[in-house]
Amino acid sequence: MHFPYSRLRRWPDVEADNLQAHDATDLLLVERALSLGVDGREIAVIGDEYGAITLALTDAGVDGIHVHQDLATGRRALARNADDLNLSGFSSHELDATLLDGARLVLLQLPKALAELEEIADAVARWAAPDVVLVAGGRVKHMTIAQNEVLGRSFAQVQAQRAERKSRLIIASEPRPVPAGPPFPVAAQHDGLTLVAHGGAFAGAKLDIGTRVLLEVLGLDGSQLSMDASDRARIAPETGAPTDPCCAVNDGEPSPTPIVVDLGCGTGALAASYALVHPEARLIATDRSAAAVASARATVAANGVADRVTVMHDDAGSALADAGADVVLLNPPFHLGSSVHTGAATRLFEAAARILRPGGELFTVFNSSLGYRAELTRLVGVTEQLERTPKFTVTRSVRR
């Protein structure tokens, strides 16, 4: 089989000379699947970042594959690559029974987070065929014994294969009986805020320290969340907390219904906290991760603000109108998969500049070592530092 892997694109994800749309693990998974000769309608593919596994199998005549990709960018890349190569014969699904019902072979690009792997392994054992075989692969440098242990909770047989081309496959079979309910989502309380998380959501049900710093700067931390609305309104003038930052920078009259966007929302901590403190605002929370979106929807529901927060599975706010937001809240990632790359943050800065109205505000928290202030000024507008801790910096950018 000769599949043109070099023609695959990462678009709309970040593209660079050191970032590719396939790796050796994809090739090993494809080769193993073809050697087993399983009917395509009995194959599920999970974590196929840009379509390399799905499209190589489809090109080889394997028809009817079910695919789950967590990232919106991956789903769009798969669709675009399929169009470019004139390939079809697969269907996309969420991580649920529709993906795995009747599956006898599951191909998995191992995720970074053990919690995500646990949720996937449980889903396969729960919904796939009783004789299902899970073939999981990854780059050797990113693999750990803990991944085998997680797989062992859902499968009686877990066998690591010999490494090839700096990648390795793990074969899991004989699914164990599953508990009555799945292990995810999980929930945790944080000073008046309930966070709900699926396995693939960053930081899980914990409140990551960067988000915590931004919440404190915006007056959205536990001291505010534990109060009722009348108490928050009473003390706001005394503390000077920016309880309605969007209205402070309007050139014209304040908007009666401020539009606030949590860009890259994760589990929805920023959106839910803002909605709790600002009942007058309308929130839009968007993330490219399906696990994050499911988590954020559960979080806003758990905090009783689902009627004022819309959660969207989208790439860098691409579905949002230009110049329609009063405020954007942002805690950008600095990784692309397993690669350290600031391109993801740059895309979000550009997105914030597009969706903010002139005079609108972007509040960003980032690792202080990254020094994003100059880039924020260039892409968005005048940027000031609001807070700096030994690890994190919070800035306020006003859209020019």
Structural domain count of the chain: 2
pLDDT of residue 244: 46
Residue 78 lies in a domain: yes
Compute the distance between CA of residue 75 and CA of residue 84 in angstroms, rounded to an integer: 14
Residue 93 lies in a domain: yes
For residues 94 and 221, membership in a common domain is answered with: no
Residue 352 lies in a domain: yes
Could you write out the three-class secondary structure of 123-179? HHHHHCCCCCEEEEEEEHHHCCHHHHHHHHHHEEEEEECCCECCEEEEEEEEECCCC
For residues 240 and 154, membership in a common domain is answered with: no
Compute the distance between CA of residue 254 and CA of residue 252 in angstroms, rounded to an integer: 6
For residues 168 and 291, membership in a common domain is answered with: no
Compute the distance between CA of residue 210 and CA of residue 192 in angstroms, rounded to an integer: 18
For residues 168 and 193, membership in a common domain is answered with: no
Measured in Å, how far apart are the chain's first and last C-alpha atoms?
Answer: 54
For residues 204 and 163, membership in a common domain is answered with: no
Residue 80 lies in a domain: yes
pLDDT of residue 14: 86
Q: Tens digits of per-residue pLDDT, 183-199?
A: 999 999 999 999 999 99
For residues 171 and 211, membership in a common domain is answered with: no
Cα 375 to Cα 21, 172, 190, 380, 400: the distances in Å are 27, 46, 33, 8, 14
Structure tokens at 145: 């014994």
Q: How many CB atoms lie within 10 A of CB 260?
A: 27
In sequence order, what are the beta bridge partners of 363?
329, 396
For residues 336 and 260, membership in a common domain is answered with: yes
CATH number of the domain that 276 lies in? 3.40.50.150
Judge whether 186 and 122 are in contact, CB under 8 Å.
no
For residues 202 and 91, membership in a common domain is answered with: no
What is the helix (H) or strand (E) element at residue 65, kind and residue range? strand 65-68
Residue 180 lies in a domain: no
Residue 181 lies in a domain: no
Residue 57, domain extent:
5-175
pTM of the model: 0.91
Residue 194 lies in a domain: yes
For residues 27 and 153, membership in a common domain is answered with: yes
For residues 170 and 246, membership in a common domain is answered with: no
For residues 90 and 202, membership in a common domain is answered with: no
Q: Tens digits of per-residue pLDDT, 258-291?
A: 999 999 999 999 999 999 999 999 999 999 999 9
Domain ends where: 156, 175, 194?
Answer: 175
Domain ends where: 145, 175, 205?
Answer: 175
User: Max CA-CA distance within the chain?
Assistant: 71
pLDDT of residue 230: 53
Residues of the chain with pLDDT under 70: 1, 223-255, 334-342
Residue-by-residue DSSP string for 189-253: EETTEEEEE-TTSTTTTS--HHHHHHHHHTT-SHHHHTS-HHHHHHHHHHHT--SSHHHHT-SSS
Compute the distance between CA of residue 329 and CA of residue 379 in angstroms, rounded to an integer: 16
Residue 124 lies in a domain: yes
Instruction: Quote the distance between the C-alpha of residue 285 and its chain's center.
Output: 12
Half-sphere exposure of 131 (CA within 13 A, CB side): 3
For residues 205 and 133, membership in a common domain is answered with: no
Domain ends where: 175, 195, 222?
Answer: 175
